Amino acid sequence: MKRIALAVSLASLIFALSGCWNSVELNELAIVVGLGIDSTDDGEYMVTAQVARPQLLKDGNTGGDAYFNVSHKGKAVFSALKDLMGMFSRTMYTQQCEVLIIGEETAKDDVSALLEYFLRNVESRMTMPILISRGKAIEVFKQATYLESMSAIQLAKMAKNQQFAGLTDHNTVFTFISDLTSECRQPTAPIVELFQDDSGTVKARISGTAIFKDARMVGEFGEEEVYGLRLINNDLHSGIMQITGLGGLIELEIMRCTSRVKPVVSDGKVSVDIRVDIECDLISTTSHQHINDSEKILEVEELAREEVIARINSALAAARAFNSDVFGFGQRVYQRYPKLYAEIENGDGGWDAVFQTLPVVVSANVKLMSIGSSMQPVTSGSGD
């Protein structure tokens, strides 16, 4: 019996040490860290891949860029990538791709066809962020890097940082396609643009959020509208809120934010109630007034509450101007009242017509949790 057990153990060890049958050594891979997709004048796709140079990623490297960009066009994304593979001596590996960038002109066309490849390809990294570039995506990959070794990684981290600051919306390829294929919700994506700094160096920055309708980019949100969008979608977990009052500018840091969106039906008519609760800390103020008594704290909280409602209303107005339900109101109505939603869709104009005039009631509660370690503002000795 002991011999049998030993034989089984040895056999298990052999199988464990055999490795994967389809494994490829690292030095046989061309690791793609970024993909860009543009449209050409003849109706094809120009696909750009940013490929890492592992031998140049070592600390202290002064031998050149740690990446290179290569482009090829094709009638479909896959055919362009397939032709790119023929240009490498190594196997193209896209599972470590950090970012997908779609050119603005391409985004204004139907993006569903180009995203088909990422949905069906088992090697696609569906968790990478998707960005829309002003101008060509290929130009964004050429931008200067400063803290990261590769521009694709720099762009992915910039998008994440802007999300944490509450300045832009954030979507992965997976969530973008999920919203795109939903009949009740429209997708969004951050916008990346190039600019020249004071030294003349071309750099990239995240600025605004692209709004889509029926798989096409139809407009964009600025910071104020994005703030309202994320408040409604319960997606604002941190960030800075600036309000004007008490004779100066007051900055509040959001420590906790929750929102509830509830569709309500009365007499066969649908409306939406939005409730937002925020806890925040006082970070700084240019006001010379002391914000350390209950009266002043209540005044700051009321100013912040009004600002929250104003930003939500701004986002609602902008979305209606594009006739794009990026908030998923239709999705919530469908989930809660499926029969009513079916009636709306079968009616004149469908959900789009209802969305334009949908009554939305917004309420907010803001609680100032801390005013910091100082009980008085910083003023000069001669100040009042």
Residue of 208, 176, 213, 211 lying closest to 100 (CA atoms): 176
Least-confidence region, from 143-152, 182-191, 360-369: 143-152
Cα 30 to Cα 81: distance, rounded to the nearest angstrom? 13
Q: β-strands 269-285, 360-370: how paired?
A: parallel
Residue 7: which pLDDT band, with cuts at 50, 70 and 90?
very low
- Per-residue HEC secondary structure of 299-312 comes to HHHHHHHHHHHHHH
pLDDT at 11: 46
Q: Tell me what the mean pLDDT of segment 26-47 comes to.
A: 89
pLDDT at 357: 95
pLDDT at 14: 47
Question: Mean pLDDT, the chain, as a whole number?
Answer: 86
Least-confidence region, from 12-21, 118-127, 219-228, 293-302: 12-21
pLDDT at 199: 87
Q: Cα torsion for 252, 315, 127, 146, to the nearest 10°?
A: -60
Contact 365, 306 (CB under 8 A): no
Top mean pLDDT of 17-26, 197-206, 337-346 is at 337-346
Q: Is the pLDDT of residue 3 over 80?
A: no
Domains and CATH numbers, the chain: 26-221 (no CATH), 224-384 (3.30.300.210)
User: How confident is the model over 253-273, as pLDDT tens digits?
Assistant: 999 999 999 999 999 899 999
pLDDT at 1: 47
Q: Is the pLDDT of residue 60 over 80?
A: no
Q: Is the pLDDT of residue 384 over 60?
A: no
pLDDT at 305: 97
Residues with Cβ < 8 Å from 258, sequence gap 6 or more?
Answer: 234, 276, 277
The pLDDT > 70 percentage for the chain reads 86
